[in-house]
Amino acid sequence: MAAISVKHLKKYYRVHQKEPGLLGSLKSLVQRKYFNVEAANDVSFEIKEGELVGFIGPNGAGKTTTLKCLSGLLYPDAGEVQVLGFNPWDRKQTFLKQISLVMGQKNQLWWDLPPIETFNLNKEIYEVPDAQYKKTLDELVQLLEVEDVLKIQVRKLSLGQRMKCELIAALLHSPKVLFLDEPTIGLDVVMQKKIRDFIKEYNQKHQATIILTSHYMGDVEELCQRIMIIDKGQLVFDGQLSEIIQKYADHKLVSLILNQAVDPKVVAKIFPVKEFVYPKLVLMVKRDQIASTTARALEQLPVADLSIEEAAIEDIIRELFTGKDYA
């Protein structure tokens, strides 16, 4: 049985439009214009136990909304969601004791107290037995190297230290399913790497099912074999990361420096343009066409310099979103 199963999930937010200014405010008091933001629009997927899946997409794509539906915070407008055999929305205590949702931008730690106090409170709330609590806490503290900060007020901790403590607070009850929403946001590269390593180790050691959202490609590239890409509330890709790489691995980036301005529209018609900010023009070209395309470019464009590079996955995915197809 799948640990997580989502069928045709829809979640709309009802928001009202407000015109600017005082008059607008008054108007909206009398007559409100509502419209729906389709944050998740017919999303379906299944995740097996122990899988670590990357869930990526641009800002506002619907990642957080989907995770909130999976953890029972939001009531879906349509579709079926099952996590560990539960309907999340029922928020049964037995369900909640087996999951955790960590949001990089929202914290559960008590701001004016040391993190250890929040940990103790969670122990009581989740009814973790003493021995298990001690063992888990020791393990997490060691893995994340936060021995020194447990007794310092949360407000005095750095962002990275805080995130580590957030993770501990979320993992003390050893959840089987873990939703990580942008856990590395705002962290420096070193700290990102540490958190990443931790997630990987946690997944392997505990067979935890994990969905990780991020807009840092690095997170996903390093951790996940499977990725789901969401855009405008819809899944646009669900498969192996390697598939995407393969599909586009035979593409290369041809960078040209022009020494004379040309009309971007004309260029876009005859070349596979990835980006064009004069004087730099970048083309995404299939490997077997590199020779001919390059020749054509040299012939038809005022080229001053030329270089060829591998396409980064990040670029590939960004291209996916803009709906261009360079095949």
Ligand X SMILES: Nc1ncnc2c1ncn2[C@@H]1O[C@H](COP(=O)(O)OP(=O)(O)O)[C@@H](O)[C@H]1O
DSSP label of 131: H
Tell me which stretch binds ligand X (CB under 6 A): 27-35, 55-63, 87-95, 156-164. Answer: 55-63
**Rounded Cα gap, residues 35 and 309, in angstroms:** 45
**Which partner, Mg ion, another protein, ligand X, none, binds residue 278 by CB below 5 to 8 Å per kind?**
none
**Rounded Cα gap, residues 1 and 156, in angstroms:** 44
270 near ligand X, rule: CB under 6 A: no
**Which partner, Mg ion, ligand X, another protein, none, binds residue 153 by CB below 5 to 8 Å per kind?**
another protein
Q: Contact at 8 Å (CB) between 159 and 141?
A: no
> What is the closest distance, in whole angstroms, from the C-beta atom of residue 152 to ligand X in the complex?
31
Tell me which stretch binds ligand X (CB under 6 A): 59-67, 123-131, 137-145, 252-260. Answer: 59-67
**Rounded Cα gap, residues 191 and 218, in angstroms:** 13
- Helix 130-144, helix 159-171: angle, nearest 10: 150
Tell me which stretch binds another protein (CB under 8 A): 111-119, 203-211, 238-246, 272-280. Answer: 111-119
Between residues 32 and 280, which has the closer beta carbon with respect to ligand X? Answer: 32
Cα–Cα separations (whole angstroms), residue 137 to 133, 192, 194: 6, 21, 18
Q: Is the preceding omega at residue 302 within 30 degrees of 0, hence cis?
A: no
87 near another protein, rule: CB under 8 A: no
Please give the span between the terminal C-alpha atoms of the chain, in angstroms, as a whole number: 37
72 near ligand X, rule: CB under 6 A: no
CA–CA–CA angle 290, 284, 295 (5° rounding): 30
For 103, phi then psi, to 5°, come to -110, 120
For 71, phi then psi, to 5°, come to -100, 10
**Which partner, another protein, ligand X, Mg ion, none, binds residue 297 by CB below 5 to 8 Å per kind?**
none
Residue that is written with structure tokens 């690095």 in the block = 218
* Of 17, 25, 33, 75, the one binding another protein by CB under 8 A: 75
Between residues 152 and 241, which has the closer beta carbon with respect to another protein? Answer: 152
**Rounded Cα gap, residues 214 and 181, in angstroms:** 7
The 49-68 contact track toward Mg ion, x by CB under 5 A, reads: --------------xx----
For 171, phi then psi, to 5°, come to -110, -5
257 near another protein, rule: CB under 8 A: no
19 near another protein, rule: CB under 8 A: no
**Rounded Cα gap, residues 166 and 149, in angstroms:** 12
User: How many amino acids of this chain bind Mg ion (CB under 5 A)?
Assistant: 2
> What is the closest distance, in whole angstroms, from the C-beta atom of residue 188 to another protein in the complex?
20
3-state DSSP call for residue 82? strand
* Of 43, 45, 61, 64, the one binding another protein by CB under 8 A: 64
Which residues would be at the binding site for ligand X (CB under 6 A)? 13, 15, 37, 39, 57, 59-65
Which residues would be at the binding site for Mg ion (CB under 5 A)? 63-64
Which residues would be at the binding site for another protein (CB under 8 A)? 13-14, 64, 68, 71-75, 91, 93-97, 100-101, 103, 105-106, 108, 110, 112-113, 117, 120-121, 124-127, 153, 181
